[in-house]
Structure 1
């Protein structure tokens, strides 16, 4: 029987592994980093264009520029807080930390807000997430874009914000007075409320009740009260949920996960359980 010494055998094994990786890279089967290319629309006039709804917290502002053409420096500056300037190389998930405690309870500036911002900047459609608001600088940047809907932008402002453009406030006030006489559907729901999907006959059906909106203070107990089982929640989290009094945000943070991604998946489950 031929015996190989320990050291030569280890060298052969390591060489085989490295050789396999190099071969896999050569044929495109091996990637050392996660893809930063969002999924694309597959049908209609938008087929082949990137979908802003697929933006993830792991994306940097530079990734967004590469994928959507939104200038990284401008976007990072628009989402910077007075006490925290963002670098284009910063992940957008950092926003949840930057704006923690700086917006009213039940609202947030996080990955969901970035998705909305990119959607409006590029005119690529998506269903907006309840509870997401935009910083004043981001609203000002969007307001300067050709064809900007000032009334819609005003609904994404932080309540009581002093930086909302005056024309947006005036337009929003006028729209409220005119809504009774001329009802019209707006593409953006007010921050913190459920969204609706219109049908061809002019009717609309809500996709989420204001009583079932997942925000930072939503607990696991709330999810159970709304009809989800512990097993369903665990399937989304990838781990066993905490006590009923624990908020989903706190659980995500404690486990190194992104609250915004959990929220999107949990909301999808809630929509399926709607009466």
Structure 2
């Protein structure tokens, strides 16, 4: 192999090393237990968090369904909305919107960014800056290797050796790309919450059950929506949508290690109270 090719492989290895370091979660800051919206964000991303906020508002009579799968505010509801995400959702629904458009509004995006940052500070998500940097570095690996293969001279016996050694950084980059945005602490937290909040078998009614409804929707998504708020979920277009955010893998496993005890740190985000 020509010596020049080693420079490209070395550059790719440096990118991999920095990306691996960047993907390591920072030191968590202990804070209050996570609310249902934070749990939904960890499980299914931004859309899931907005759905929980919508259910919280609907349970309090602030939001109802509109025409053609849209949602709108209920003008007769006097309830004050204090939670940041719920307030952003409520103010964005001054005109009827579908869930996809609602998630993309500037107010809701800003509130979701704040919720994400709180979870990142708690060690449950990788920060936005680190996540983007890791993506850039991992994308640079195949580009660097391809440039090396194209720019370095080759002999008749070189190509197989080149391709064999050059494929290693690309394979490692693909493996690091598959690392989810949630940290290991977040995955343990979701498992523990599922064990503590098994899926309900019957709808919950009344104010005392509101928090359980929200946590159930946060943890189980469509399954909980069709159980607790079937008409609102169907008419409002809440069903059938997963997260579109890169890095937020929808968490469906109900099994896993047991107690997560002392090493789980919560994050903010109202649960509808």
Task: Give the TM-score category using the shorter length.
Answer: under 0.3
TM-score, normalised via structure 1 length: 0.25
Please state which structure has a larger fraction of its residues in helix.
Answer: 2
